[in-house]
Every structure is written in C-alpha cells, then in structure tokens.
Structure 1
Amino acid sequence: MALVSDGRFVEDGWRRLADEETLPKSGKAIVSLARLEHALANLPAGVSLGVNLPNTTEPASLAAALPRLELIEIAFPAFADGRGFSLARLIRRAGFKGELRASGRLLADQYAHALGCGFDTVEIPDDIAGRQDEAQWRAARAAHARTYQRGYVAPGSILDARRKAAAK
C-alpha cells in the first residue's frame, strides 16, 4: 500500500493490528471498529490510537471515542463508492481534529474531492500507485486550489474570493 500526503508518497508510521494481535505498549496502532472499545479501555496512554471504519459506520457511534483517537481511516471498497466522502464530512463536523485517512481504491482524480471532504491522507493499493505515480497525485492536488464548497482544502471558496474582489 502507498500512502499519499500533500500529493507525495510518504512512509506510513502507523501499524494496522489484526483483531487477534496483542495491543502494543508503544507506537501507533490502528484497530478495527469491532476492537475499538477494547483498545480504548486497555491501551496504555502513550500509544497513539487509530481506528479503521467501514464506510457505512454511523458517525454518532464514535462520539465518545473522538477525543482519544489520533487517526480515523475510512475504507473505500471501490472507486465508485463515495459513502466515505460523506462520512468524512460528518466526522469533521463532529469535531475530529486528528488525521483522517481514506483507504482503498481511490484514484488521483478523486484526490481534490477527498481533501475537500476533510481527508489528510489517502492510502492506495500498489496496483493503483503503479499506474498513477506521485506526479499525478501532486498535479491533482494543485489542480484545485479553490473550490465552490467551503471545505478543508483552502480557506474560503471561489465564491468568497469573488465577493471579496467585488467589495474592493
């Protein structure tokens, strides 16, 4: 898997745990949603905690865990399944400030939209990374410096910029 951050392929400092694996005593660990409650109760304070969510997760079910989570990873089982984008927006609106990661079959063409929905990083399979190199992801990030929606890519929107220019 390749991890894209700011249009570049970067090293992933997080470790994804299988449900049967012992919880670590240090480092950064990603657990499944089924294991989240157990991890919250038993993980030492020095361990950074992340959770992997299906794109069908109800955001309200995470409310109590949000302050303890440093990473939320949302699964994208297919590039045409956009439910993860909606889930990301809802999680950001709920106040999550940590790293939000899209994981799965996303394409570089979807990168600007992912950033606009609040994602910080995108994890893609090696076959997609082989077809769409770092240069394509960088270009996709740079292609849309502003959007019509107020989001997370840049402060303001195209409409805000037009209103500001008209007021001068």
Structure 2
Amino acid sequence: MTLIREEGAVKDRFTRADTLDAALEIDGPALVPLTIAADFAKARPGAEFGISVPGSTPIEDVRPHLGGATLVAVEFPAFADGRGFSLAKKIVREGFAGTLRASGPLIADEFADALACGFTEVELPETMANRQPVQQWLAARATMSEHYQTGYGRGPSILQKRLAARKGA
C-alpha cells in the first residue's frame, strides 16, 4: 500500500488487523474493522487505534467511535463509488479532528475532491500506485481551485464569492 498526503508519500504508522486477537498482538497503533472497535478499546484502554469502515456505513454506526479513534479509514470498493466522500463529510461535520483516510482504488483525479471532503490522506493498493505514481497525485491536487458547493473545500464557494462581490459593489 502507498499512503499519500498533500505533501507526498508518507509511512503508515498503523498496522491493520482483521481480528481482535491479531489487533491485540500489535505493538503500536492498530487499524481495526468497525465491528471489533468497541472490543479493542475495552481490551486496550487508552491505546491509540483507528477504525476501518466501508463507505456505505451509516454515520450512526460510526459516531460512537469517533471520540476514541485517532484514525478513520473509509474503504472505497471502486473509484466510481462516491459514497465514501459523503461519509467523510458527515464524519467531519461530527467534529472528528483525527486523521481521515480514503482507502482503496481511487484515482489521482479524485485527490482534490478527497481533500475537499476532509480526507487527510489516501491509501492506495500498489496496483493503483504503480499506474499513477505519487507525482501524478501531487499534480492533480491543484487541478481544482474553485467549487460550487458551500462547505466543500477550503475557502468560500463560487456562490459565496459572487454574493460577497454583489454586496461590495
């Protein structure tokens, strides 16, 4: 897996585990499925951990874990499945201040959208990272500087800028 942030490729501090037993054997931060997050937190109070959630997960299922997890990895089954972007916005609106990771076969053209939705980083399978190296991702992040949606991305939307210009004129 390749992990990309706005500044480039970074090393992953988290180790994935699919079972509680495997997670408890990890020395350091563990990334566990949502289904075992409560059990892991109970077995390792105070330990740093992340949760892995499918992009189709309702926010109601994620909300109880946002206070304890320092990482939420939203799993994308395919680059054409945008439900993970919607879930990311909901997680951000809940006040989650940790690391928000998009994980799966995304494409570089989606990097700016991922960042605008609140993702901190993107985790790619090696097949995708080989097809679109980190340099392509970094070039793609600057391709979109304006947005129509309010509350999307950094800074005011096109509509907000137009309304402000009318008030100032």
Question: Normalising to structure 1: TM-score of the pair?
Answer: 0.89
Q: Which amino acid aligns with 2:91?
A: I
Pairing 1:13-162 to 2, within 5 Å after superposition: 13-19=13-19, 20-23=21-24, 27-45=28-46, 47-151=47-151, 153-162=153-162
Gaps of 5+ in 1: none
- Paired with 1:121 and 1:128, the residues of 2 have a C-alpha distance of 15
Q: 1:5 to 1:152 in 2, by over 3 A?
A: farther
- Paired with 1:110 and 1:25, the residues of 2 have a C-alpha distance of 32
User: How far did residue 152 of structure 1 move?
Assistant: 5.3
Q: Secondary structure at 2:24's aligned position in 1?
A: coil
User: How far did residue 59 of structure 1 move?
Assistant: 0.9
Q: 1:22 to 1:122 in 2, by over 3 A?
A: closer
Please tell me whether the aligned partners of residues 146 and 157 of structure 2 are also in contact (alpha carbons under 8 angstroms). Answer: yes
- Count residues with an aligned counterpart: 167
Q: 1:67 to 1:121 in 2, by over 3 A?
A: same
Please tell me whether the aligned partners of residues 23 and 30 of structure 2 are also in contact (alpha carbons under 8 angstroms). Answer: no
Please tell me whether the aligned partners of residues 30 and 50 of structure 2 are also in contact (alpha carbons under 8 angstroms). Answer: yes
Q: Secondary structure at 2:141's aligned position in 1?
A: helix
- Paired with 2:76 and 2:7, the residues of 1 have a C-alpha distance of 19
Cα shift readout 1:47-84 (whole Å, capped 9, x = no counterpart): 21100001221111222221111110011111111111
Q: Secondary structure at 1:143's aligned position in 2?
A: coil
Q: Secondary structure at 1:18's aligned position in 2?
A: coil
- Paired with 1:155 and 1:3, the residues of 2 have a C-alpha distance of 26
Q: 1:130 to 1:151 in 2, by over 3 A?
A: farther
- Paired with 1:138 and 1:112, the residues of 2 have a C-alpha distance of 9
Q: Which amino acid aligns with 2:143?
A: A
Q: CA RMSD in A?
A: 1.9
User: How far did residue 97 of structure 1 move?
Assistant: 1.4
Q: Which amino acid aligns with 1:33?
A: L
- Paired with 2:17 and 2:163, the residues of 1 have a C-alpha distance of 48
Question: Normalising to structure 2: TM-score of the pair?
Answer: 0.89
Gaps of 5+ in 2: none
- Paired with 1:119 and 1:109, the residues of 2 have a C-alpha distance of 14
Query: What is the percent sequence identity of the aligned residues?
Result: 41
Q: Which amino acid aligns with 2:140?
A: A
Please tell me whether the aligned partners of residues 59 and 91 of structure 1 are also in contact (alpha carbons under 8 angstroms). Answer: yes
- Paired with 2:26 and 2:55, the residues of 1 have a C-alpha distance of 29
